[in-house]
Chains A and B, each alone.
Chain A
Amino acid sequence: MTWKGLNSIMSIILIIGGIGYAVNLNQSASQALIFSSSGVGPAYFPNILAGLLVILSVMTLVKNFRDNSPNNIEKITTHNAGYILITIALMVAFLASWQFLGYFYLNVFVLLTILMTLYRIEFGFKNSLLVGITTSVFTTGFLYGLFGQILALTF
């Protein structure tokens, strides 16, 4: 995808977001006018913001559409894009596991081990796994000592 494409998609998302916000706002704050003696109810200011967001996003969309400079039509390159996606997937798995199964510290240990092994995979799997496990044990232990024992936080 090019920068132009991503810019356009983001503008469209913002336009949809602005409209969705306004719709939800006017539903949830439909009693707005009851509370206002001068027409300035709880939805008044947010409606202005929603309008501004849509207008500004349309302006960006049009500006971007007309911009054919080499920078804008260049293809997007994201170094380590795979690692970013895997990190997001691991975060989703971690949060789901923590929320539905519990065992926070076990989840932390597993997440740290996988992340460090993965991030250091260029040094070889065995080496990375060993370093990952060792670091995770110490880090999880430190977090347990600090948050679980000293600050007495329950996760």
Chain B
Amino acid sequence: MEILFNDLTNLFTLTNLLCILLGTVVGMVFGALPGLGTVIAVALLLPVTFTLPPLAGILMLLATYQAGEYGGSISAILLGVPGTPQAAATVLDGYPMAQNDSPGKALSYSLVSSSIGGIFGGLVLIFVSVPLAKFALNFGSPEYFLLGVIGLMAVGLLSGTDKIKSSIAVVLGLIAGTVGIDSLTGVSRATFNQPELMDGVNLVAFLVGMFAISELFMMISKGLNNKYVADRSTLKTGLTWKEVKGIAKSTTIGSLIGAGTGILPGIGGGASCWFAYAVVSKTSKNPEAFGKGSPEGIAAPESSNNASAGGALVPFLALGIPGSAAIAIIMGAFIMHGIQPGPNVFTAERDLVYGIFYGFILTTIAMYLIGRLLTPMFSRVLVVPNSFLISIVLVLCLIGIYASKGAFFDLWLALGIGILFYILKRLNYPVSSVIIAYVLAPIIEENFRRSLTLSNGNYEVFFSSVYAIALVLMIVAALAASVYADFKKRRHQPS
């Protein structure tokens, strides 16, 4: 119960509040712009966190993440084009409601359900993380290695349709994570005689190259002067109490599904919003309204994707396992400040963790308030053509990379990574797996080697405890389920 009586004075500082405000605005704008999205926004803001205290920096990224989830629905509702993959299900009812009824009403349903989902996700984070972290204190190196493998398998097996390509993406991320001086022995590895690589591949250059620069090339190929036209005349957001009551059930179901799937690494908001939409449409008293502008059809996916953001923080904070690309970038901010997420962070960085718990709820409140006030303004950015966006974001990417370390090497590296990952994206390699593997690489390798060193190279150490055996069984079960799903899919495919 100590969690409920924590001193929150550290949270309500001017720096923290300004960072939440900035993160919310950036997240909403980037979330609203089709093609950019939450991950790029978080990656671009990562260098800014260098100069900030850890809590302020992390809250800024969390606010960006939360607001981006709502921002994605702005373009989904006004244009029928989801700003983020997580807003894809919102198009089904949000766009028809905007066309037939009122865009402002559709945005209001989205904002209210996103906010409720966000608060729910925050509560799940608060009440599930602490027991999970306490339980994880029983784990030793073999269990942490196995947990890392589960995290990788979840993203590798679930994020792509081609299992081999997904596995290659995971291995590429792990390889990138091993470059530089080995933390256990001080030996330099795979640096190709580049002193800039001694500290490893620069996280900001890696992220911005992989997500932002490659995405800008994608945007160029999608069209440079596409002009979106949106009706901005009736964008005032607000719901009556009766309307809120009307979406109570769908919002509750969406929040439960979102938080639950968010906790499982690799699933995230993209899948949970479709799952929530399917469940709510089947259990609704008014199923025929779905697809034609049903408020429940907006509330379910929107509450789900914001709740999944809170859920995704649970395994990240309690076990050190990031479940999505955005969380992996936020993990980067922890690492840059010398903080390793996991059960020990609850005692070593108690104020930070509790600040994050309550700060996450604060980011949701900020999202609601700023959404209420500024949604009509954010909708205006939708008419900015790609020709302007690409040029300006490109320059911001380069500034962000240079500001992180002041090295030109990193700029060239990011350009190379951007070109490589543009091609890999076109070939359907799931790039989000790369970044998750990259941030998990040190945890996996260190615990793997520590386990084997302690057991004199005996692999039986990975079956030495009940927890380890349970984790091995989970890995085997996940592999078997994946192989079975592939087998079933092939059987149903026409030859």
Contact = CB atoms under 8 A, between A and B. Distances in A.
A124 to B, nearest CB: 13
Nearest to A53: B171
A84 interface: yes
A88 B411 CA distance: 13
Given A115-B394, A119-B225, A6 B185 contact: no
A151 B52 CA distance: 12
Contacts of A153: 403
B438 to A, nearest CB: 12
Nearest to A11: B168
A79 B222 contact: yes
Interface of B is mostly: helix
B223 interface: yes
Contacts of A122: 225
Interface stretch (B93-101, B121-129, B238-246, B449-457): B449-457
Contact of A41 (B185, B223, B399, B456): B185
B390 A56 contact: no
A39 B221 CA distance: 50
Contacts of A130: none
- Which of A7, A42, A52 has the largest count of B CB atoms less than 10 A from its CB? A42
Contacts of B403: 147, 153
A36 interface: yes
B249 to A, nearest CB: 42
B186 to A, nearest CB: 8
A31 interface: yes
Contact of B390 (A3, A25, A119, A155): A119
Nearest to B386: A119
Contacts of A37: 453, 456
A53 B172 contact: yes
A81 to B, nearest CB: 7
B185 A56 contact: no
A144 to B, nearest CB: 11
Nearest to B165: A60
B138 interface: no
A42 B185 contact: yes
A99 to B, nearest CB: 5
A43 B179 CA distance: 11
A45 B178 contact: yes
Interface in A103-149: 108, 111-112, 115-116, 119-120, 122-123, 135, 139, 143, 147
Nearest to A120: B387
A39 B225 contact: no
Nearest to B397: A91
Given A42-B189, A83-B220, A10 B424 contact: yes
Contacts of B415: 88, 91-92, 95
- Which of B225, B395, B412 has the largest count of A CB atoms less than 10 A from its CB? B395
A42 B186 CA distance: 9
B391 A50 contact: no
Contact of B175 (A49, A81, A98, A135): A49
Contacts of A40: 449, 452-453, 457
Given A14-B168, A59-B164, A45 B427 contact: no
A46 B399 CA distance: 32
Contacts of B187: 28-29, 31-32, 35, 41-42
B395 A111 contact: yes
B408 A46 contact: no
B188 interface: yes
Given A50-B175, A56-B164, A24 B394 contact: no
A108 B395 contact: yes
Interface of A: 3, 6-7, 10, 14, 21, 24-25, 28-29, 31-32, 35-46, 49-50, 52-53, 56-57, 59-60, 63, 76, 78-81, 83-84, 87-88, 91-92, 94-95, 98-99, 108, 111-112, 115-116, 119-120, 122-123, 135, 139, 143, 147, 151, 153, 155
28 contacts: A6-B423, A6-B427, A10-B424, A14-B172, A29-B182, A31-B187, A32-B187, A35-B184, A36-B453, A42-B184, A43-B189, A44-B452, A45-B448, A46-B190, A49-B175, A52-B167, A53-B168, A56-B167, A56-B171, A60-B165, A76-B426, A87-B217, A108-B395, A115-B387, A115-B391, A122-B225, A123-B225, A139-B395
Interface of B: 51, 164-165, 167-168, 171-172, 174-175, 178, 182, 184-185, 187-192, 216-217, 220-225, 385-388, 390-392, 394-395, 398-399, 402-403, 408, 411-412, 415, 419, 422-424, 426-427, 445, 448-449, 452-453, 455-457
Listed from nearest, the 8 A-B pairs whose CB atoms lie closest are A119-B387, A42-B182, A38-B457, A35-B185, A115-B391, A40-B452, A42-B187, A119-B224
Given A32-B185, A87-B220, 12 more contacts: A6-B426, A38-B456, A42-B182, A53-B168, A56-B164, A56-B167, A60-B168, A63-B164, A76-B426, A83-B220, A84-B217, A112-B391
